[in-house]
Amino acid sequence: MTRIAILSALAEEQHGLLALLRQPQKIHRAGRDFWLGELHGQHVVLALSRIGKVAAATTATALIERFHVARIVFTGVAGGLAPGVNVGDVVVASGFVQHDMAASPIFPRSELPLYGRSLIACDEALSALLFEATCNHVAKAQAGFDAQERVMAHRVHRGLIASGDRFVSAATESTALCHALQAAGHEALAVEMEGAAVAQVCLDYGVPFGAVRTISDRADDQAHGDWSNFVREVASRYACAIMERVLRLLPKK
Ligand code: ADE
């Protein structure tokens, strides 16, 4: 049996997916709840990464070692970093970097020690599928908007996401982060706190990984206020709609 893992950082983001899960079975492992069941005709396991890279790596490792998942998809929220990546937009990851990895002068700045690289690419096919599903969902949602709402239409982006153990909540901080990443040759669209860790675990085990993050804030001085509202009101619905399309598009095994 092929099982797909769907990871969320927080219970609020997972809430809608859990409500739709058929024949749910809860298994407690490594201090976490893993929910096995069926969603839109696929065998899935829903799990919370929790927050930060180490917590996310623990969850990803358990998903692979204990539940033998065939692929992992992360759905959640992120702060917009690049110009034009605005609240309500969606970023489908092409790859991840850790913006707080700094083992220089032993290794080049931002390089993952002993990996010989700083960027970990997502699985190409899974990322393409997530992009297609997200574009479809956003286009359908916008068809229902009136003319004024359409002016603020949400965009779907595909590109690099930066992860680090820091909630970026000041414009000065996000500008400095962009400049540091650009100096290392990376144009990151968004910032969050888990994806690069899951990508690294998946690389180690050879498990395909993809991620889709809805932009909840601009990683600036308003980030905290925007973020908590957005996670409560919007993130869970986006995750449900996008994952429904992805699960229906994936071959049934
Ligand atoms: N996730 C959502 N917004 C974020 C931010 N501003 N910094 C880090 N992670 C985030």
Q: Which atom of ligand 1 is nearest to the CA of 223?
A: 6
For a ligand 1 pocket test, name from 91, 168, 214 the mutation site with the most ligand atoms within 8 angstroms of its C-beta: 168
Tell me the mean pLDDT in the region 60-83.
97
CA distances from 211 to 5, 9, 40, 104, 171 (A): 11, 12, 19, 29, 25
- pTM beyond 0.85: yes
Of ligand 1's atoms, which has the minimum distance to the CA of residue 164?
8
Give, in order, the Cα–Cα distances in Å from 101 to each of 160, 201, 209: 16, 16, 21
| pLDDT band (50, 70, 90) for residue 160 | very high
Instruction: Return the pLDDT at 55.
Output: 98
So which residues are the catalytic ones?
13, 217
Encoding tokens for residue 28? Answer: 């407690």
Among 100-114, 165-179, 231-245, name the most confident range. 165-179
Residue 168 Cα to ligand 1 midpoint, Å, equals 6
pLDDT at 109: 78
- Phi and psi based region of residue 49 (left: phi greater than 0; alpha: psi -120 to 50; beta: remaining): alpha
For residue 251, how far is its CA from the centre of ligand 1 (angstroms)?
33
Which residue is closest in CA terms to ligand 1's atom 6? Answer: 219
Ligand 1, residues 165, 227, 229: which to mutate, most atoms within 8 A of Cβ?
227
**Residue ranges lining ligand 1, Cβ < 6 Å:** 77-79, 167-169, 191-193, 216-217, 219, 223, 227
Where residue 145 falls among pLDDT bands split at 50, 70, 90? low
Ligand 1 centroid to Cα of residue 1, in Å, is 35
3-state SS class at 183: helix
> What would the pLDDT profile of 73-114 be if each residue is shown by its tens digit?
999 999 999 999 999 899 999 999 999 999 989 998 779 999
Q: Is 26 helix (H, G, I), strand (E, B) or coil?
A: strand
Q: Note the pLDDT tens digit of each residue in 197-206.
A: 999 999 999 9
Residue nearest to atom 9 of ligand 1 (CA): 192
Nearest residue (by CA) to ligand 1, atom 4, is 79
pLDDT at 225 over 70: yes
C-alpha of residue 215 to centroid of ligand 1, in Å: 9
For position 50, what pLDDT does the model report?
Answer: 95
Going by CA atoms, what residue is nearest to atom 1 of ligand 1?
78
Q: Output the CA 89–ligand 1 centroid distance in Å.
A: 14
